[in-house]
Amino acid sequence: MPIVWTFWGVGGVLLVLAQAAIRLTPRALEPLQNGSLGWWELALYAAWVGFMAYSEGYRGFQLQFSPRVVRRAFELPVAGSLWYIAFGPLYCMSLIGASRTDQVRARVLFVAIVGLVLSVRLLPQPWRGIVDGGVVVGLGWGVIATVRLFVQELTKRARHRSTSGAL
């Protein structure tokens, strides 16, 4: 039963990320589909997507957020609290049950992201589409990185169990 809690924690985080990416994709594609971008706006779109892939996707998700989510997901069954298990995705994102420093960092980041989301909603097209295009790429990268790291950790633990059980 404890592995179910691990899946709950990671799955909840993936659901949040994927839902945001799916919801933003039509807005991100709108300026590309309606042909409203001039050459320099198209260049800006491409540069922004590249920047967000590196900064949000690679540096933010792959190197920091995703490894922390996966590590905390595997800590969840032994966290010792039904509260943490019930709110597994929040636990995995370090919003609860983490050190004070990690909780403050996670909560400040959460508030900043909400503030940016609300601000970007006020932008007209094509600017909103350009920003959302980069965000969708970053979120997609985050989903893929999290799934990859989770599968790697599951595989590693299964191998370890099978080799230690065979002795």
- How far is 118 from 15, CA to CA, in rounded Å? 20
Coil, strand or helix: which one is 149? helix
CA dihedral 28, 29, 35, 37 (to 10 degrees): 30
pTM of the predicted model as reported, rounded to 2 decimal places = 0.90
So what's the pLDDT on residue 3? 87
Which residue ranges make up each domain of the chain? Answer: 2-162
Residue 104, pLDDT score: 95
d(CA 66, CA 73): 10
118 φ, ψ (degrees, to nearest 5): -65, -35
Note the pLDDT of residue 161.
Answer: 83
Crossing angle between the packed helical segments 2-33 and 127-165, to the nearest 10 degrees: 150
Could you read off the pLDDT tens digit of each residue along the chain, which spans 167 residues? 588 999 999 999 999 999 999 999 999 999 999 988 899 999 999 999 999 999 999 999 999 999 999 999 999 988 778 899 999 999 999 999 999 999 999 999 999 988 988 899 899 999 999 999 999 999 999 999 999 999 999 999 989 888 876 54
